[in-house]
C-alpha cells in the first residue's frame, strides 16, 4: 500500500485501500475538478498587468505561474467558481458559458 495506486469504479474490495486511506502525496494532480464546470474564465492576456492577485485565490491549481508570470488557464482543474474574475483589478478575466 506504500505506492500510489489507481482507484476507479472497477477496483475490488481486496485491492481497495483500507478505510479509503490515501497513502500517497501530490495526488490532487490526478483529480480533475474541471469536469463539473458550467461557466469558465477566459484569460485576456492583453489586459493583464501580471499583478498575480488571481493565482493564490484559485481553490484548485487552474492558474499556472512560471517565472513570476501567470499563463493561460488549465481547464482540467477549473471548476468555474469565478473568484479569479472577481479579484482581477483590470478585468483581464471574463466568465463565459462553457459549451
* Residues engaged in binding another protein (CB under 8 A): 1-2, 7, 9, 11-14, 16, 18-25
Nearer to another protein, 25 or 99 (CB): 25
Q: How many residues does the chain have?
A: 99
Q: What is the closest distance, in whole angstroms, from the C-beta atom of residue 8 to another protein in the complex? A: 9
Strand, helix or coil at 36? helix
CB of 63 to another protein, least distance (A): 24
Comparing CB distances to another protein, the nearer of 7 and 52 is: 7
Q: Give CA–CA dist 58/80, Å, rounded.
A: 10
**Least distance in Å: CB of 10 to another protein?**
10
For another protein, which is the closer residue by CB, 33 or 48? 33
CB count in 10 Å sphere of residue 58: 21
Q: Looking at beta carbons only, is 22 or 51 nearer to another protein?
A: 22
The helix or strand, by DSSP H or E, that contains position 42, with its residue range, turns out to be: strand 39-43
Asked whether 32 and 85 are in contact (CB, 8 A), the reply is: no
Amino acid at each position: 500500500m506504500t505506492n500510489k495506486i489507481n482507484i476507479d469504479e472497477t477496483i475490488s474490495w481486496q485491492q481497495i485501500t483500507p478505510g479509503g486511506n490515501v497513502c500517497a502525496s501530490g495526488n490532487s494532480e490526478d483529480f480533475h475538478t474541471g469536469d463539473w464546470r458550467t461557466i469558465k474564465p477566459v484569460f485576456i492576456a492583453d489586459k493583464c498587468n501580471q499583478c498575480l492577485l488571481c493565482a493564490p485565490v484559485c481553490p484548485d491549481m487552474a492558474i499556472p505561474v512560471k517565472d513570476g508570470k501567470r499563463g493561460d488557464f488549465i481547464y482540467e482543474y477549473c471548476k468555474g467558481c469565478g473568484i479569479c474574475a472577481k479579484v482581477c483589478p483590470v478585468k483581464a478575466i471574463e466568465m463565459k458559458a462553457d459549451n
